[in-house]
Structure 1
Amino acid sequence: MTSNNSFLRVSGTDVVNGGGKQVILKGCATGGHLNMENFITGYPGHEHEMRSAMLEVLGQEGYDYFFDKFLDYFFTREDAKFLASLGLNCVRIPINHRHFMDDEKDFEIKEAGFKLVDRCVEACAAEGIYTILDMHTFPGGQNQGWHSDSGLHRALFWENKDLQDRGIKMWVEIAKRYKDNRWVAGYNPMNEPADPEHTRLQTWYKRIERAIREVDPYHILFLDGNTYSMDFTAFEEVLPNCVYSIHDYSNMGFPAGQPYVGTAEQDETLRRQYERKVAFMRERKVPIWNGEFGPVYASPNEENHEKINQQRYNLLGKQLSIYKEDRIHWSIWLYKDIGFQGMVYTNPDSAYMRLLKPFLDKKKRIGLDPWGRDDTHVKHIWEPVIQHMKDEIPERIRNKRYPHHWGMEKHVSRVVRDMLMSELLTYEYASYFEGKTFEELDALAASFKLENCMRRNGLNKILQDDAEVTN
C-alpha cells in the first residue's frame, strides 16, 4: 500500500508534495489523442461520427489497424522526454468516455481504456512528469459543444440521472486503478461542464467526491467551474483536497478577435477576465489551476503570418505574467495537432497532410470548425441567416437558450454547421482513406510521430522560460 506521504495534496492555497514542499504544476494537454477533436486532427464534427464513417470505409480490420497505430504513435516516451526537456512537470490527459464504456451497452468497463491511459501515465512517470486524468466527454454530453462528442446541442447528461450514475461508476473504477500511483497528480472529473441550472453540477461534484474518496482517499480532484470552466458564482462550498479549475482563453488569440498589441486597455481586459474567474478561489483561499488557455496560430501560407503569430506569442506571455503573480498551476491547450495550436504539429509534407490537403482547405474556406473559425469567405451566407433569426425572434427571449453568452450567432452555428454540415461532411473526410493498404495507413498514422512533426519553437521557448522561473 502506498503511503499517504507519496501523493501531492492541497495545503491551503498550495499544492505540496510528501515533504510539504510547494509544487507548481505546469504543462500541456494531450488533446487529440485519447479524445480526438475535429480541429486538432482534421476531421469534421464529432469523434464518434468520424469513427463510424471510418469503419464503413475501412472495414473492421483496417479501422482497428489505423486507430491502433494512431494511438501508439501520437504520444510515446519520446514525447514525454521532449516535454521534460522544456521543464514541464505535468501532462493533462483528456479522455473520451467511450474508451472505457459503450453508450449502447449495460455498464461495463473496458480494459482497453486502461491500457491506453497506462501508456501515457507510465511514459510521463519515467521522465518525472505528473499526469492529471481528465474525462473530456460523458454519455449524453456534459456541455453543448462538439468536444463533449455527444452530437447534440443540449447537455442531456444533466437531465438524466442514469447518465450521471454511469459517470460516477466509471470514475470509481478509474480511481481503483490509479489509487496507488503517486505520479498521477489527480483526477479532473469533468471537462467544461455546462449545467443550465447550475445546481445539478454541484450535486454531482459532491457525489463524485464521495464516491472517489471511498476507493481512493488521497488523490487531488481538479474541479472545473460551470459554463465551460468560467463560472463559479453558484459554488457554495469547498470540497476537501480539491483544486478549482478555470479555462482562460482570450478572444484576442483567435482570428475573429481583436489583435493583441499590448495596450493598457487590452491588458486590463486580460486581467479582468482572469480575476472574475478566480474570485471564488481567492475568497475561499484554495489553489487555482488554469486547465486550458492559449492562442491559435496563423499558418505560413497566410498573409502576415509572422506578425500575427508574434502578437499571439506576446498575448500568451502577458497571460503567463499574470498567472506568475499568483503562482498558479497551468496546462496549455495543447501539445500536438495539425497546426492550429500545437507545441508540435504535423509536417505539411507528411502523408496525412498531403492526403487531406484538399479537404482541410475546404474546411478552412467554409469555416466549418468552431475553433479558430474564420468566416471571411462565407460571411455573406451566414450573416443573413443570423439576421433573419434576430428579426423573427423577439429580443427579450433570444437569451433564453443557454449558454447565454453564445448569442444567436453561435447557437445557429452549433446546430447548422457544427452538427448538420459537419456530420454529413464526415463521410467526405472518410472517403480519402478508401482503398488504403495497411502500409499506407501506417504512414498516415505515423505522420503524428514526434520525429516526423515540426516544433513551434517560439511557443516552446515561452513555456520553457516560464517553467524555469518557478520550478
Structure 2
Amino acid sequence: MNFVEIKKDQIYFKGEKLTLRGLGIGTWLNIEHFMVGLPGPQSTILDGIEKVYGRGKSTEFLDKYVDSFIDENDFKFMKEQGINFVRVPINHRLFMNDNTLEINEFGFKKLRRLLDYCEKYQIFCMIDMHTSPGGQNPDWHSDNKTGVPEFWQFKQLRNQLVTIWGQIAKRFGGEYSYLLGYDLLNEPAMANWKYLNEYFENTIVEIRKYDKNHAVILESDHFAMDFTGLKDIEDDKLIISFHYYPTVWKQNLLDRDLDRKKRKQEFAKGLDEVISTMRKMKHPLICGEAGYDIKPDDIGFAMELLEDTVDIFEDKNISWCLWAYKDAQFMGLVHPKNESKWMQLVNRVHEKWTHYGEMNQANEITEDVAQRFNYHDEDLEYETQFRIRGILYRYQEESILIPLLKSISWDELMQSLESFKFEECTYYKEYSVLLQKYME
C-alpha cells in the first residue's frame, strides 16, 4: 500500500508533492451547538434527550444522526468539487466511556465507514480529536460543560486519551492509504506547556507501537495559534496544524466599509504572526480550520473573505481546510433546506437562544460580577466568562432544550434528522465555484 511521505517541510504521495485542499466534515462525530442549532455541548444535548425520551435514546439519536449526516452521496459531491482532503472531528466519548473506561465500539464503527468512503473516492482524511476528558480548552466545542480545561490538571485524563489514540492506530493504521494521519488535540487553550508536550510525546509513542505509516499532526496553545512553547518532537511523519480565524480576534475586519485590499493585508499580517511563533521548526504546515459565517442574504461578502484567506494560504504554499462541509446554515457549504423539519426546530430554538446571544449573556454577567467585586482584570474576565457559560448550559437545557423536545414526539425528532441527508439538503453554488477555483 502507498502512504503519505514527508520530506523536510513537504508532504508527498506516490512520489508526487501533495497540497491538501478541502473542508472540515462538520458537526458529525462531535456535535457543536451553533452548527446544529441546539444549545449546549454534545453531552448536554444528549442528556436532554435521555431525560425526555428515556434511557438509551441518546444512542439511537446519535446512530440516526451520524448516518444521516454523512453518506456516500456526500462523498460523491465532495469529489465533484475537486477537494482532496477532509478533516474529521471526533468526540472521545464515542470511543471510550469516561466512567468505566470501556471501549465504545460506536465511534470505531462509524469512523471506519467514513474511512472506507475516503479510500473509495481518494480523499485524504485527517482524524481530529476534537474533545478530551475534562476538556483541553474551556469552550463548548471540546464538549466542556464547566468552562474549566481540566485536561491539564489531571494526568489520568491525558493518559486516557493516549489509550484511545492507541486503539485508533491499532485498528486503522495498516489499512488506509488515504488516511493522512492523526490530529492529536484540537485547539488546546490555557494549556501547560510541560503537560502539552508530554501528552504529545506519550501519544506519539503509543501510536507508533501500531502505526508507522501515517502522520501525526500537532496543534498548539491559544486555540492552535501559539506555538512558542511547543517542543519540536522528532518523528519521521510530523505535521504542524494551526487555525486561523482573524475576524474572531479583530472584529473590525468585518467592517463592510473597510477597503478589501487593506483587509487582505491584515489577514496576511496576522498569519505571519502565527507562523512566527513556530520559530525554526521545519515541518509541513496545514491550516486545519479557517472560515466565516455565511448569511444567505449576503453570500458575496463571505465568499470575499474566504477567497482572500485562501489566496494567502496558496501564496505561502500552505495546505488548507475550510470550516465546514455541512451544518445547519451557519458556516457550511451544504445545509438542510429552509423548509426542512430540522430547520423548523432550529428556528424555534433561535427565538430564545443563539450562539452569539449566549456569548453576550456570559460577558454581561461577567461584567456584573467584576463590578460587584470592584475588580477588573481582562485576563480574569476572559477566563470567567467561559465558566459562566457552563452555568448557562444548564439553564438552556432546562428552559429551552427540554421543553422543545417535550413538544415533539420521538418519531418526529428522528424523522427530522433525515433533513441532513444529502438528497434533502442544498448548497451554496457560490461556495462551490470558489472551491473549484483552487482545485487542480
Bin of the TM-score, shorter chain as denominator length? over 0.9
Q: How far has the Cα of 1:460 moved from its partner?
A: 2.1
Question: In the alignment, which residue of structure 2 is the partner of 1:217?
Answer: 212
Choose which of 422, 428, 434 in structure 2 pairs with 1:456. Answer: 428
Q: Is 2:53–2:410's contact at 8 Å kept on the other side of the alignment?
A: no
Q: How far has the Cα of 1:270 moved from its partner?
A: 0.8
Q: Distance in 2 between matches of 1:25 and 1:465?
A: 14
Q: Structure 1 residue 269 and structure 2 residue 266: aligned?
A: yes
Q: How far has the Cα of 1:356 moved from its partner?
A: 3.7
Normalising by structure 2, what TM-score?
0.92
Q: Structure 1 residue 349 and structure 2 residue 339: aligned?
A: yes
Summarize the Cα distance change of 1:22–1:217 in structure 2 as closer, same or farther, 3 Å threshold.
same
Secondary structure at the counterpart of residue 186 of structure 1: strand
Q: Is 1:25–1:90's contact at 8 Å kept on the other side of the alignment?
A: yes
Choose which of 319, 324, 346 in structure 1 pairs with 2:314. Answer: 324
Question: In the alignment, which residue of structure 1 is the partner of 2:324?
Answer: 334
Q: Distance in 2 between matches of 1:227 and 1:385?
A: 21
Secondary structure at the counterpart of residue 353 of structure 2: helix
Summarize the Cα distance change of 1:458–1:62 in structure 2 as closer, same or farther, 3 Å threshold.
same
Question: In the alignment, which residue of structure 2 is the partner of 1:447?
Answer: 419
* Gapped regions of structure 2 (runs ≥ 5): none
Summarize the Cα distance change of 1:74–1:278 in structure 2 as closer, same or farther, 3 Å threshold.
same
Question: In the alignment, which residue of structure 1 is the partner of 2:71?
Answer: 76
Cα displacement string for residues 255-284 of structure 1 (whole angstroms, at most 9, x for unaligned residues): 886325444442222111111112255722
Q: Structure 1 residue 289 and structure 2 residue 286: aligned?
A: yes
- What percent of counterpart residues are identical? 27
Letter in 1 for 2:106: A
Q: Structure 1 residue 389 and structure 2 residue 370: aligned?
A: yes
Secondary structure at the counterpart of residue 81 of structure 1: helix
How many residues align? The count is: 436
Q: Structure 1 residue 20 and structure 2 residue 49: aligned?
A: no
Q: Distance in 1 between matches of 2:95 and 2:196?
A: 22
Secondary structure at the counterpart of residue 110 of structure 2: helix
Normalising by structure 1, what TM-score?
0.86
Instruction: Note the aligned Cα RMSD (angstroms).
Output: 2.4
Question: In the alignment, which residue of structure 2 is the partner of 1:112?
Answer: 106
Summarize the Cα distance change of 1:398–1:321 in structure 2 as closer, same or farther, 3 Å threshold.
closer
Question: In the alignment, which residue of structure 1 is the partner of 2:4?
Answer: 8
Q: Distance in 1 between matches of 2:365 and 2:96?
A: 42
Secondary structure at the counterpart of residue 440 of structure 1: helix
Summarize the Cα distance change of 1:66–1:383 in structure 2 as closer, same or farther, 3 Å threshold.
closer
Q: Distance in 1 between matches of 2:363 and 2:282?
A: 45
Question: In the alignment, which residue of structure 1 is the partner of 2:144?
Answer: 150
Letter in 2 for 1:96: N
Secondary structure at the counterpart of residue 153 of structure 1: coil
Q: Distance in 2 between matches of 1:14 and 1:360?
A: 45
Q: Structure 1 residue 32 and structure 2 residue 27: aligned?
A: yes
Q: Is 2:295–2:302's contact at 8 Å kept on the other side of the alignment?
A: no
Letter in 2 for 1:197: N
* Gapped regions of structure 1 (runs ≥ 5): 300-304, 402-407
Which range moved further: 281-290 or 327-336? Answer: 281-290
Secondary structure at the counterpart of residue 313 of structure 1: helix
Q: Is 1:193–1:227's contact at 8 Å kept on the other side of the alignment?
A: yes
Secondary structure at the counterpart of residue 40 of structure 2: coil
Q: Distance in 1 between matches of 2:69 and 2:249?
A: 26
Secondary structure at the counterpart of residue 191 of structure 1: coil
Cα displacement string for residues 48-104 of structure 1 (whole angstroms, at most 9, x for unaligned residues): 011011111112364443332111110001111111111101111100001011111
Q: Is 2:225–2:243's contact at 8 Å kept on the other side of the alignment?
A: yes
Letter in 2 for 1:355: L
Q: Distance in 2 between matches of 1:413 and 1:246?
A: 24
Q: Distance in 2 between matches of 1:59 and 1:463?
A: 43
Letter in 1 for 2:393: S
Summarize the Cα distance change of 1:146–1:111 in structure 2 as closer, same or farther, 3 Å threshold.
same
Q: Distance in 2 between matches of 1:385 and 1:170?
A: 36
Q: How far has the Cα of 1:342 moved from its partner?
A: 0.5
Q: Structure 1 residue 164 and structure 2 residue 169: aligned?
A: no
Q: Distance in 1 between matches of 2:55 and 2:44?
A: 15
Alignment of 1:26-425 (within 5 A): 26-60=21-55, 62-105=57-100, 107-180=101-174, 181-240=176-235, 241-251=237-247, 258-259=254-255, 261-280=258-277, 283-299=280-296, 305-306=297-298, 309-364=299-354, 367-370=356-359, 383=364, 386=367, 389=370, 392=373, 394=375, 398-399=378-379, 401=380, 408=381, 410-416=382-388, 418-425=389-396
Q: Distance in 2 between matches of 1:38 and 1:342?
A: 14
Letter in 2 for 1:248: Y
Q: How far has the Cα of 1:459 moved from its partner?
A: 1.8
Q: How far has the Cα of 1:230 moved from its partner?
A: 0.3
Letter in 2 for 1:225: S
Letter in 2 for 1:198: W
Q: How far has the Cα of 1:414 moved from its partner?
A: 2.2
Q: How far has the Cα of 1:421 moved from its partner?
A: 1.9
